[in-house]
Amino acid sequence: MYQTRKKQLFISMKSVKQHNLISRLTLSTIALLFLFTLNLSAQGDAKNGKKLFNSNCAACHKLDKDLVGPALGGITEKRENAWLKAWIKDNAAFQKVDADAKEAAAYSPTAMNAFPQFSDQDIDDILEYTKPQEPVITAGGPVQTFAAPVKQDNTLLYILGAIMVVMLLMLFNLYRTINELKGDAPKSRSFSEQANGVWEAFKRNKFLHFLMVIFFLLMTAYFAFGWMSQVGVDQGYQPIQPIEFSHKIHAGDNKIDCQYCHSAAKHSKSSGIPSANVCMNCHMNISEVADDTKIGNHGKDILDKEIQKLYDAVGWDPEAAGGGAYTGETKPIEWVRIHNLPDFAYFNHSQHVNVAGQKCQKCHGPVEEMDELYQYAPLTMDWCISCHRETEVDMTENGYYKKIHEQLAKKYGVEKVTVAEMGGMECGKCHY
C-alpha cells in the first residue's frame, strides 16, 4: 500500500513538473513572438521614411551634404535614436534640458521646426532611410549611398514559426498524457487500443483543450472574415438581359468604339445606358444578321428576333412604305444593371477616361470578346488602391503635371510618379 501511494505521488510530482515545463515553454514562445514584433516595428520602413523625409525634411536637409541643416546620412551612427526623437519632436524644449541639443542648435541661425505630429514609428522610418548602404564602387573609388532598400516583411514567417512551436507543445503534452495513462502496460498494443489511449489522453488533458479552443476560435474568425469580405463582391455576375446584345459582334467584329454608344463616359460620372435611338442609327437599315452570325448556341433565326425586340421598343415598322417608319408606340427596354458600386463609393468615368486616358478594358475586361457582358473585375477597394499604386502619371503630355514634376519631383530625385503619390490614396477622393 505504501509503495503504491509512493508511486502515485511520484507520478503526480512528475506530472506537475512536466506541466510547469510546458507552461514555461508556452510563455517563452509568446514572449519571443512579442519581441519579434517589437523588433520589426523598431527597424523602421525605409520606403515610408523616404516619403516623410522628402515631404518634411528635404527643404533643409540632404543625406550626402550640408544644406540649411547638416547632412543626415548616417546620423544614427552619431546620435542615439532616443536623442534624435526628442530633438525632432520639439528641439526648443529639448535644448533646455540637454547641453548637446543646445550646442546642435548653434549649427544654423535658422531654428528647426518642431514635428510633434510625428509618431515614434514615423521617426524610426525616417532614420531607417538615412542609414547608409554598402559603398558602391565606381571609377573614382567607393561612393557611399543612402537610399536604403525596402526591408522584407517577415512577420508572416515569425507567426508561422510560433504556430509550429505551439503545435509541437500540443504534441508533446499529448505524448506526456499518453505515457501517464499507459503506466506499466506492455508496449505492443493493437491499433484500436492505441487510438483509445490517444482519445483518453485528449479527454484528460485540460491544457490541450485550451489550445484547441484557441485554435478553433482563430480558424472560425479567419473563415468568417473571409466570408464577410466577399459580401457585395459580384465578380463574374452575368444577368439575363431583355435583348441579347453582343459586344463581341459590335465592339469586336464591327470595331464600333465604346464611346460611340457610351458617350457620357467622357464628360460624366456615369458612362450611361445608350438610348435605343443610338441603336437605330444602324438598325434602321440592318434588320437581320448575317447567315453565319452566332451568339453562343443562337443562330440567325433567334438573333433576328432580338433585333425585332428593338423595333418593338422604339416603335419602328421596317415593312412600312419608304423603307420603314416610326409608329409612335414605344415601350422601355428594361436592361439589368451589371456594375454597381455602393453608395458610399464615388467613381467618376470622365476623370478616368478623359483625364487619365484609361481604356474601358482596364476595368471592364475584354468586352470586345464577350457575347454576353459580365462583371470582369471585383471592383473592391483593394483592387482600386492597387491600380492607383501601380498606374504612373504621364508627365509629358500634360503641361500642368510637367511643371510640377520639374519644380518639385525632380528636386527629390523622383523619376516616376504614380496616381497614389498625386493624391489618389486620399480617403475623401472616393468616400464622402
Q: pLDDT tens digits, residue range 323-358?
A: 889 999 999 999 999 999 989 999 999 999 988 889
N-term to C-term CA, the chain: 81
Domain interval for residue 133: 45-143
Q: pLDDT tens digits, residue range 69-119?
A: 888 888 888 888 888 888 888 888 888 888 887 777 777 777 788 788 888
The grid cell for 131 is: 542609414
Closest CA to 177 of 215, 203, 210: 203
80 within a domain of the structure (yes/no): yes
Q: Where do we find the cell 514567417?
A: 157
387 within a domain of the structure (yes/no): no
What is the C-alpha to C-alpha distance for residues 382 and 88, in angstroms, rounded to an integer?
Answer: 34
Mean pLDDT (the chain, rounded): 78
9 within a domain of the structure (yes/no): no
5 within a domain of the structure (yes/no): no
Residue 18 has pLDDT above 60, yes or no: no
Spell out the residues 6+ positions from residue 367 whose beta carbon is closer than 8 angstroms to its own.
247, 251, 258, 360, 361, 373, 376
In this structure, is the dihedral angle defined by the CA atoms of residues 86, 92, 97 and 102, taken in order, positive or negative?
Answer: positive
400 within a domain of the structure (yes/no): no
Per the document, the length of the chain is 432
Instruction: Please say whether the beta carbons of 344 and 431 come within 8 A.
Output: yes
12 within a domain of the structure (yes/no): no
Count: domains in the chain: 1
Q: Where do we find the cell 459580401?
A: 231
Per DSSP, the residues of 152-198 read P--HHHHHHHHHHHHHHHHHHHHHHHHHHHHTT--S---HHHHHHHH
Residue 415 DSSP SS3: coil
Q: Which of 129-133, 238-242, 315-319 is predicted least confidently?
A: 129-133
CATH number at residue 122: 1.10.760.10
Q: b/e for 207-216, b at 16 or more Cβ within 10 A?
A: bbeebeeeee
How much is the average pLDDT of 158-185? 63
428 within a domain of the structure (yes/no): no
Q: What's the one-letter identity of residue 114?
A: A
120 within a domain of the structure (yes/no): yes
pTM beyond cutoff 0.85: no
What is the C-alpha to C-alpha distance for residues 407 and 142, in angstroms, rounded to an integer?
Answer: 31
